[in-house]
Structure 1
Amino acid sequence: MAKNVRIAVFASGSGSNFAALEKACYVGTIPADIVLLVTDKPDAFVTERAKQAGIPVAAFRPRDFETKQAYEQAILAVLQEAQVEWLILAGYMRLISHVLLDAYPERIINIHPSLLPSFPGKDAIGQAVKAGVKVTGVTVHLVDEGMDTGPILAQQAVNVIDNDEQQTAKAIHEVEHELYTATLKKLFEK
């Protein structure tokens, strides 16, 4: 039997995608082990989720570092120590620089709550509702230097519900959990 892929999940918020990925790894749906949670917000709820699952947490405050490169070098050292093979962004609200991109070429994945290239960046759901579109969605993509500009791996449409941001966000999160799991399963089974 092939060994599981060693992944680190990067998150900045409550961690609903982290929880879905952790469950999928735990039950064997995704042939991977989450060996580390990396966060830029030590007080984020995702850290509690990781601790409850017995997953080590690496929390770094960007403002504690002179430069973005120094911040990412500190993260890279922890990733290398944990022998991480892939980086999985799940609500990580920072752009990745060349430090991590060079160390993990084409091995950094992100999920975004829109059908890219539409509505990149922050508040994609709010952008879609304000634009009055009837359909938005979820995109899983490789990370490059840009903001939500990397090659697309998978997409799924989600209807905007009654022009309501909260209802639409709930529908998007449900699709995110399924699409991210399915995409990573396919990617890691190769």
Structure 2
Amino acid sequence: MAMKTVVIISGSGSNLQALIDRANEIGIEISGVISNREEAFGLQRAQRAGITTALVDHRQFESRETFDAALSETIDGMQAQLVILAGFMRILTPEFTRRYEGRMLNIHPSLLPKYRGLHTHRRALEAGDEWHGATVHFVTEELDGGATIIQAPVAVSSADSEETLAAKVHAVEHRIYPLAAQWFAEGRLRLEQGVAYLDNAPLPVEGYQYHD
């Protein structure tokens, strides 16, 4: 049986689309898509695919805690077995992350632990890095700090701009996020005492290294 999965977004939802396109193949059923922004294009992507959507607007709540409580209620109402953050631009409370620890994934546009936070492509270019990329990791209380599952490096060219580098990273994101979701749905991937395991073997700190 496909694993009920809820995807949480704030923007265009390109990683959501990658998951929608491969949901049957990777063994997930996207039972709902939640956004904190009404204008998020990802909501339209979900609706076109016949997926239930919900808006939980953070601006309607007095605190992070009350917003996260409403978000949790919405997630649980969609019977989520797996929670996927896909461009969700909110810092989550420790209570929220603990509630879903071990079954919540995020994707970040850098080779973590490098460049946690925002503007990762600019920072990689300014540093003169030869390699940049994307990381899928378990979500914990530490911002962009949960155990790494999979990384995909991309070569940085001297001709790259923020836009061209972002496009390269997006391309690999759309490959590795469905793969991580598939591993979880198949019961091959788990988090145990802060360590990610694949096929009962602990993954290295940098995770599984994906190459085309």
Query: Map of 1:164-175 to 2, 5 A cutoff?
Result: 164-175=161-172
Length-normalised TM-score, structure 1: 0.93
Secondary structure of 1:76 counterpart? helix
Counterpart code for 1:135? W
Shift of 1:16: 0.6
- Quote the sequence identity (%): 34
- Cross-structure match for 1:102: 98
- Cross-structure match for 1:63: 59
Shift of 1:188: 1.3
Query: Map of 1:73-92 to 2, 5 A cutoff?
Result: 73-92=69-88
Counterpart code for 2:168? A
Counterpart code for 2:146? G
- Cross-structure match for 2:118: 122
From 140, 164, 189, the counterpart of 2:186? 189
CA distance in 1, matches of 2:33, 2:10: 10
From 11, 16, 40, the counterpart of 1:18? 16
Q: Would you say 1:33 and 2:29 are equivalent positions?
A: yes
CA distance in 1, matches of 2:11, 2:156: 23
Name the stretch that deviates more: 97-106 or 107-116: 97-106
Deviations along 1:96-133, whole A, 9 cap, x unmatched? Answer: 22332232121110001110000111121121112221
Name the stretch that deviates more: 153-162 or 170-179: 153-162
- Cross-structure match for 2:197: none
CA distance in 2, matches of 1:103, 1:119: 26
| Aligned pairs, number | 186
- Runs of 4+ displaced beyond 3 Å: none
CA distance in 1, matches of 2:63, 2:163: 36
Length-normalised TM-score, structure 2: 0.84
RMSD: 1.2
